[in-house]
Amino acid sequence: MKRARQKVVVENEAPQTSQKSKKQRTCLYGSLFGESDLHASVDWGSLPHHVILRVFQFLPLVDRARASSVCRRWNEVFHIPDLWRRFEFELSQPATSYLKSTHPDLIQQIIKRHADHLQYVSFKVDSSTESAEAACDILSQLVNCSIKTLGLISTAKPSFMNVSKAHFASALTVVFVNSKSLSSIKVDDTPLDDPSLKVLVANNSDTLKLLKMSSCPHVSPAGILCVADQCHGLKELALNYYILSDELLLALSSEKHVDLEHLRIDVVSENPGQVEFHTIKKQSWDALVKHSPKVNIVMYFFLYEEEFDAFFREETPVTHLYFGRAVSKAMLGRIGMNCPRLIELVVCANGLQPLDDELIQIAERCKNLTAMGLGECEVTCRGFIEFVKMCGGRLTQLSIMEEVLIPDNDYNLDRLHLEVSKHLGRMWFPDMMPTW
C-alpha cells in the first residue's frame, strides 16, 4: 500500500512573533517621533505602510486577518500583493475531518482581490471528493494568475481521483494556459492525462523545472515523452514505472536538455503476478548517466516477492532504493551485483533466511552506500558486523530493527552494538519497538 504523506502543522508561533513585532513597533516609533513623544498617546494607524508590511510578514494569516480589521491603513497593507504571493488552501469537510479548513470567505476574498498576485500555490485536501472538487473550482477561477509553483496534495485518500476527468482537466488547463511560467508542478494521485500534459508543454516548456506525477493512471508513455521532448529545463521528474521508456530516458539525455537532477520511479503492482514489467535497456540508462552524471535515480518498489524477476538483471544506475512491501533474497543479490551507484537502501521486509551474503556483497560492491534501513528480515549478528566493518564510517545512516538481528555464538546484542559503534566511529544502537 502506498504511504500517504503527512505534514506537521506548526502551531503557536503567533505569541512569540507578536511580541517581537510589538518590540519592533515600539523601537521604530521611538526613532521616528523622538524621545519626548514616547509617552504621548500613540497613533498606530499612522505607521508607514512599509513598516506595517514588514511586521505583517512575520504574522500568520489568522493574526494578519485580525489586524486588518483595526483601521483602514492596516487593512490596505493586509491586501498588498507581497503578502499574497504564497498561499496554501486547506480544504476539509468539517463533518469528517479532524483538521481545519481555510475559511470560505477568505477563499472568496483571495479569488476576488488576489488571484493576480498568487505565485506559489498549493491545495491540501482531505479524503472527501467535495474538497477535491472545491480545489478544482478555485483553480478554475485563477484566470489572471501567473503561477510559478502548483501543488495538489491529498492528505489522506487520493480524493482528486474521484473528480471527473473533465472537471479536473479544465481546472488544470486554466492554470496551465494562463500562467505561462510554471516551473514546479506536483500532481501525484490525480486524474492528470496526456492532453493536459500537452497543454502544459505548449505554454510552459521554457520554464518547467519540476514535475511530480506519481500514480497518475491516465498518463501514457507518450504523454510524458512529450514533456521530456519539449521541456528542456526539466530537472526533477517523478512518475510510475509503467510510463518509463527507453525513449523517455534518451529524450532526457538529449543535448538540448539540462542535467537531470532527480528521477523518482514508483514500481507498483495491484495484484500478485498479474502485471508483467517491461525492461529498460542498459544503453538508455547509460545515456542518462552520461548526460547527467550526478543524477539521483530513486526507485520505490511495492511488489510481491515473486514479481522482481525483471529487475536489475543488468547494471542499473539507481541511487536510492526503497522496498515498501517485501523484496526477494535473489533481488537483493542482484542489487549487490548490478547497482554500483547505490547510495541508500531500505528493506521493509524479507523472508526467514538470513541475508548475510547479500549484505556483504552490497558492502563490497556498492562503494557509495551511505544509508541503510532493515526491517522485518533476518541477519546474523556476525554477518551484520562484517557488513558494517566493510562499510565503515561511510554509513552515516544505519537503521535496523532489533529483532532482525539473530544472536549467534560470537555475538549477542549487547556486544554487537559496541562493535558496530566502533566501526562506525559513533554511538549506535538498533531501533527498538516498544514491548507493549
Given the rule CB under 8 A, which residues bind another protein? 1, 3-4, 6, 8-9, 92, 95-99, 126-127, 155-157, 325-326, 346, 348-349, 352, 373, 375-376, 378, 397, 399, 401-403, 406-407, 412-415, 429, 431-436
| 327 neighbors 347 (Cβ within 8 angstroms) | yes
Least distance CB 381 / another protein (angstroms): 11
Nearer to another protein, 75 or 412 (CB): 412
Nearer to another protein, 184 or 328 (CB): 328
Nearer to another protein, 125 or 318 (CB): 125
CA nearest 204: which of 248, 149, 272, 122?
149
Cell numbers at residue 231, please? Answer: 521541456
Nearer to another protein, 3 or 256 (CB): 3
Per-residue 3-state assignment (H helix, E strand, C coil) for 278-323: CCCCHHHHHHHHHHCCCCEEEEEEECCHHHHCCCCCCCCCCCEEEE
Least distance CB 326 / another protein (angstroms): 7
For residue 351, which amino acid is it? Answer: G
Least distance CB 341 / another protein (angstroms): 21
| 209 neighbors 183 (Cβ within 8 angstroms) | yes
Stretch (H or E) spanning 323: strand 320-323
Nearer to another protein, 1 or 40 (CB): 1
Least distance CB 8 / another protein (angstroms): 6
Instruction: Report d(CA 50, CA 43) in Å as an integer.
Output: 16
Nearer to another protein, 70 or 99 (CB): 99
Least distance CB 399 / another protein (angstroms): 4
Instruction: Report d(CA 301, CA 272) in Å as an integer.
Output: 13
3-state SS, residue 211: strand
Backbone angles phi, psi at 388, to 5 degrees: -65, -40
Backbone angles phi, psi at 248, to 5 degrees: -65, -50
Nearer to another protein, 239 or 345 (CB): 345
Nearer to another protein, 40 or 95 (CB): 95
Burial class (CB in 10 A: 0-12, 13-18, 19+), 173: middle
Instruction: Report d(CA 145, CA 133) in Å as an integer.
Output: 20
Least distance CB 160 / another protein (angstroms): 15
| 263 neighbors 298 (Cβ within 8 angstroms) | yes
| 51 neighbors 26 (Cβ within 8 angstroms) | no
Instruction: Report d(CA 366, CA 298) in Å as an integer.
Output: 15
Least distance CB 139 / another protein (angstroms): 21
Least distance CB 308 / another protein (angstroms): 15
